[in-house]
């Protein structure tokens, strides 16, 4: 790790996690050790005047987690350069959101991206379209750490001569504290009067730097707040919050931290009602302390194969930590219930289809918002639509209109024309056909 430029905080964190696993730690949180949450304090809804909003935003910097490649969708570069709405990429939307907040409130609002070695060059090249995005000498990015993949049977670092880069993996978004601190950015921002960092995933365009939340944080001098949403049936795999029985501390439990025997409880959305939106606000002095104490954060053991495209390749484990797990390490940390509109991630082509449809629009502040309060349709796409190139080829003239749709299922070799309207529950199954089924332009599907 040191040969790859890792700092002492990152190597110390990995060493602590490795020693815990070598000593027999399973990285699990048993169901009988926690208490479900009945309620969470809600996001402030009071109107904030422009002066108060500006005063709060002057104390905030925006940090976007941007190390992911979008391999689930067949991408070999940063997901954030993918067009998501009206020809604009995630990076375009983020940049415009920040620039509009600056213009409206006359604030600096620095922004920086946590990149990986795989995303850095393409991301910075895309951001040259916004020459005013960088503020003073605050860099537009810093690098996420990498850690070695370990053989699942021996815990030795895996050797993979066919592609040595596959011997390494990102350290997980919990690395943001150590990486941000090691970059020198924490102290640099504090010297410029910034008190809080708002950290969120680059693929979640609902995660805007909300002035009302910022004003509340500054007024309360809150040390750390992580945003949570009410779980639905689609969120059964998302990490949830609970309280530890032993000391009453708020904790975050991810799916990888659950034993097979406790999967039923983890998936019970009436039992564990609130999931982690991975939007987090943290005071910079607290962040600096977290960077030093990060080794104490719970380890997440992810079981993979060394080559994610080859299920027969060597089985490995990846040791990570979750950013939101810091709630158990910070005195006074809390989770805040926010509207679903602040959680609009794109993990699959089905998510992308929804955001490109007429169910959503770009608002005046650059955010992506639903056009009304009706629930999003359930979208189920077969394997023919999973990879982005196949997806684009099957919607050559744009995605269907889904505003009146309650569910949309596509299976098999289907190409959808332009201006197609879906109403109610729509199922198209071409799995038993021996030719491509073409949905004509302007078709109305019911």
Instruction: Please tell me the predicted confidence (pLDDT) of residue 295.
Output: 52
Q: Is pLDDT of 203 > 80?
A: yes
Does one domain contain both 115 and 214? Answer: yes
Does one domain contain both 31 and 15? Answer: yes
Torsion region of 74: left, alpha or beta (phi above 0 gives left; psi -120 to 50 gives alpha)? left
| 94: confidence class by pLDDT, cuts 50, 70, 90 | very high
Higher pLDDT, 181 or 7: 181
Q: Is pLDDT of 338 > 60?
A: yes
- Structural tokens at position 342: 């602040």
| 18: confidence class by pLDDT, cuts 50, 70, 90 | confident
| 117: confidence class by pLDDT, cuts 50, 70, 90 | confident
CATH number of the domain within which 62 lies: 3.90.550.10
8 Å CB contact between 349 and 304:
no
Average of per-residue pLDDT across 52-78: 92
Q: Is pLDDT of 142 > 80?
A: yes
Domain end call among 302, 321, 342: 342
φ/ψ of 310, rounded to 5, equals -125, 100
Q: How far is CA 256 from the centre of its chain?
A: 16
Instruction: Please tell me the predicted confidence (pLDDT) of residue 57.
Output: 98
Instruction: Report which secondary-structure segment, H or E, holds 267.
Output: helix 263-267
Between strands 150-151 and 315-320, the pairing is: antiparallel
Does one domain contain both 317 and 385? Answer: no
Q: Quick: pLDDT tens for 206-264.
A: 999 999 999 999 999 999 999 999 998 888 888 999 999 999 999 999 998 899 999 99
By C-alpha distance, which of 109, 114, 135 is closest to 124? 114
DSSP per position, 298-326: PPEEEEEESSTT-TTSPEEEEEE--GGGG
DSSP per position, 60-106: EEEEEEE----GGGT-SS-GGGSEEETTEEHHHHHHHHHHHHHHHHT
8 Å CB contact between 274 and 287:
no
- Measure the CA–CA gap between 118 and 116, rounded to whole angstroms: 5
Helix, strand, coil % over all residues of the chain, rounded to 5: 30, 25, 40
Instruction: Please tell me the predicted confidence (pLDDT) of residue 106.
Output: 98
Q: Quick: pLDDT tens for 21-60.
A: 888 877 889 999 999 999 999 998 888 999 999 999 999 9
Instruction: Please tell me the predicted confidence (pLDDT) of residue 21.
Output: 84
Does one domain contain both 382 and 264? Answer: no
| 432: confidence class by pLDDT, cuts 50, 70, 90 | confident
8 Å CB contact between 196 and 284:
yes
Instruction: Please tell me the predicted confidence (pLDDT) of residue 293.
Output: 63
By C-alpha distance, which of 349, 326, 384, 279 is closest to 174? 326
**Domain range for residue 401?**
349-445
Does one domain contain both 145 and 280? Answer: yes
Between strands 300-305 and 315-320, the pairing is: antiparallel
Higher pLDDT, 90 or 238: 90
Domain end call among 315, 342, 369: 342
CATH number of the domain within which 436 lies: 2.160.10.10
Instruction: Report which secondary-structure segment, H or E, holds 354.
Output: helix 349-356
Does one domain contain both 280 and 423? Answer: no
Does one domain contain both 440 and 299? Answer: no
| 296: confidence class by pLDDT, cuts 50, 70, 90 | low
How much is the CA Rg of the chain, to the nearest whole Å?
A: 22
Average of per-residue pLDDT across 290-301: 73
8 Å CB contact between 84 and 93:
yes
By C-alpha distance, which of 317, 333, 321 is closest to 296? 321
The count of domains in the chain is 2
- Measure the CA–CA gap between 42 and 228, rounded to whole angstroms: 9
Does one domain contain both 328 and 360? Answer: no
Please tell me the pTM assigned to this model.
Answer: 0.93
By C-alpha distance, which of 280, 265, 125 is closest to 217? 280
Does one domain contain both 259 and 323? Answer: yes
Instruction: Please tell me the predicted confidence (pLDDT) of residue 433.
Output: 85
Instruction: Please tell me the predicted confidence (pLDDT) of residue 396.
Output: 97
Average pLDDT, the chain: 92
Average of per-residue pLDDT across 86-91: 95
Domain end call among 282, 314, 342: 342
Instruction: Please tell me the predicted confidence (pLDDT) of residue 294.
Output: 55
Instruction: Please tell me the predicted confidence (pLDDT) of residue 353.
Output: 98
Does one domain contain both 338 and 356? Answer: no
Does one domain contain both 374 and 242? Answer: no
Q: Is pLDDT of 186 > 90?
A: yes
- Which of 170-174, 313-317, 358-362 has the lowest average pLDDT? 170-174
Does one domain contain both 132 and 179? Answer: yes
Q: Quick: pLDDT tens for 351-405.
A: 999 999 999 998 887 788 999 999 999 999 999 999 999 999 999 999 999 999 9
């Amino acid at each position: 790790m040191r040969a790859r430029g890792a700092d002492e905080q990152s190597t110390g964190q990995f060493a602590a996690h490795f020693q815990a696993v070598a000593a027999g730690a399973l990285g699990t949180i048993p169901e009988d050790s926690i208490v479900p949450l009945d309620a969470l304090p809600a996001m402030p809804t009071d109107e904030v005047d422009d002066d108060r909003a500006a005063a709060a935003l002057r104390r905030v910097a925006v940090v976007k987690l941007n190390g992911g490649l979008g391999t689930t969708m067949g991408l070999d570069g940063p997901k954030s350069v993918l067009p998501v709405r009206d020809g604009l990429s995630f990076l375009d939307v983020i940049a415009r959101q920040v620039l509009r907040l600056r213009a409206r409130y006359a604030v600096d609002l620095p922004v920086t991206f946590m990149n990986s070695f795989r995303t850095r060059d393409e991301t910075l090249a895309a951001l040259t379209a916004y020459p005013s995005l960088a503020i003073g000498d605050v860099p537009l990015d810093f690098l996420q750490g990498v850690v070695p993949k370990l053989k699942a049977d021996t815990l030795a670092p895996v050797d993979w001569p066919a592609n040595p880069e596959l011997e390494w993996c990102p350290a997980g978004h919990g690395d943001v504290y150590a990486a941000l601190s090691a970059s020198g950015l924490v102290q640099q921002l504090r010297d410029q009067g910034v008190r809080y960092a708002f950290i969120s995933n680059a693929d979640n365009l609902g995660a805007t730097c909300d002035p009302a939340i910022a004003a509340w944080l500054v007024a309360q001098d809150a040390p750390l707040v992580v945003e949570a949403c009410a779980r639905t049936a689609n969120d059964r795999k998302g990490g949830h919050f609970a309280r530890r029985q032993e000391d009453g501390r708020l904790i975050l439990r991810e799916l990888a931290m659950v034993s097979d025997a406790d999967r039923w409880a983890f998936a019970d959305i009436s039992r564990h009602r609130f999931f982690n939106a991975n939007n987090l606000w943290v005071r910079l002095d607290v962040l600096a302390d977290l960077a030093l104490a990060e080794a104490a954060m719970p380890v997440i053991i992810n079981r993979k194969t060394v080559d994610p495209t080859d299920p027969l390749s060597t089985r490995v484990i990846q040791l990570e930590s979750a950013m939101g797990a810091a709630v158990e390490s910070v005195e006074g940390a809390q989770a805040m219930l926010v509207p679903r509109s602040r959680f609009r991630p794109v993990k699959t082509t089905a998510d992308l289809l929804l955001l490109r449809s007429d169910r959503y629009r770009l608002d005046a502040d650059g955010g992506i918002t639903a056009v009304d309060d009706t629930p999003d349709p359930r979208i189920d796409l077969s394997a023919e639509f999973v990879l982005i190139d196949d997806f684009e080829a099957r919607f050559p003239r744009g995605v269907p209109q889904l505003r009146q749709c309650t569910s949309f299922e596509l299976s098999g070799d289907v190409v959808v024309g332009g201006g197609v309207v879906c109403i109610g529950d729509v199922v198209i199954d071409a799995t038993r056909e021996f030719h491509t089924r073409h949905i004509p332009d302007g078709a109305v599907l019911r």
